[in-house]
């Protein structure tokens, strides 16, 4: 009979995710992983296979448990336009006020590994496509339908532009965490979504919304 695992899989995956997220794939050694996961080498191989397979598992877990959950939460907001714009503003606030400098695990991975790792590239591609089609585009379509977003906004190209702006914002938040620079990107997102005749007043930026990003963009405790 197979031996029962002596650890909680989700817990050790989260620890490995933190290590890869902080250091990157190449800079995270097997010893780093064993130290942070607090398991033996044989247990790692038995449970996850090699380092690359473990990395893919952490990337998938991030996408499902953190990114998709955050998207689902924002899609429940009463205002589609604010659901989009608050993502940009919360990211700026997390960087400027809370010192978030590790970025997004998926975006970091896209820059490091996607050009030469097909398995990673497929996970990243699917995640970005989901963000573009299932969040940005759906929120734009919903906003147009209820009169919050101007009818002149074309959903498909605007969704692509918003995704590009978000990726740029997160990348710059790591290398140039300057308030005016990051806020200018958030303003560009706002300019892409002119309000319709039934737009609601802007929501105040609050830490309660930023708190949900602690896992998504790795805000220090």
Q: What is the pLDDT of residues 57-97, one digit of tens each?
A: 999 999 999 999 999 999 999 999 999 999 999 999 999 98
Per-residue pLDDT tens for 160-210? 999 999 999 999 999 999 999 999 999 999 999 999 887 776 554 444 455
Predicted confidence at residue 5, as pLDDT, reads 57
Query: pLDDT higher for 83 or 211?
Result: 83
The per-residue pLDDT for 205 is 47
CB 139 within 8 A of CB 84: yes
* pTM of structure: 0.88
pLDDT of amino acid 216: 66
Q: Which helix (H) or strand (E) holds 218?
A: none
Residue pair 213/67 in contact (Cβ under 8 Å)? The answer is no
* Domains of the chain by residue range: 64-213
Give the pLDDT of residue 212: 56
pLDDT at residue 99, rounded to an integer: 85
Torsion sign over Cα 179, 185, 186, 190 = positive
Q: What is the token pair recorded at 156?
A: 């498909």
- pLDDT, tens digit (0-9, with 9 covering 90-100), for 94-127: 999 888 888 999 999 999 999 999 999 999 999 9
Assign domain 64-213 to its CATH architecture: Orthogonal Bundle (1.10)
Q: What is the b/e burial string over 3-41, where b = at least 16 CB atoms within 10 angstroms of the residue's CB?
A: eeeeeeeeebbbbbbbbbbeeebeebeeeebeebbebee
Residue 8, Ramachandran bin (φ over 0: left; ψ between -120 and 50: alpha; else beta): beta
């Amino acid at each position: 009979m197979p031996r029962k695992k002596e650890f909680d899989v989700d817990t050790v995956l989260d620890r490995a995710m933190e290590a890869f997220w902080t250091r990157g794939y190449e800079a995270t050694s097997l010893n780093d992983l064993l130290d942070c996961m607090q398991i033996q080498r044989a247990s790692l191989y038995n449970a996850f296979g090699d380092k690359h397979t473990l990395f893919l598992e952490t990337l998938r877990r991030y996408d499902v448990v953190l990114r998709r959950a955050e998207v689902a939460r924002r899609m429940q907001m009463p205002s589609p336009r604010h659901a989009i714009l608050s993502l940009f503003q919360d990211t700026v606030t997390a960087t400027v006020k809370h010192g978030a400098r590790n970025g997004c695990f998926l975006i970091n991975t896209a820059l490091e590994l996607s050009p030469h790792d097909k398995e990673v590239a497929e996970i990243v591609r699917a995640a970005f496509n989901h963000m573009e089609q299932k969040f940005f585009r759906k929120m734009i379509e919903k906003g147009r339908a209820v009169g919050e977003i101007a009818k002149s906004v074309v959903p498909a190209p605007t969704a692509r532009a918003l995704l590009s702006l978000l990726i740029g914002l997160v990348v710059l938040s790591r290398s140039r965490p300057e308030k005016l620079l990051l806020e200018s990107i958030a303003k560009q997102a706002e300019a892409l979504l002119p309000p319709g005749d039934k737009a609601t007043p802007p929501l105040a930026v609050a830490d309660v919304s930023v708190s949900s990003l602690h896992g998504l963009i790795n805000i220090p405790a």
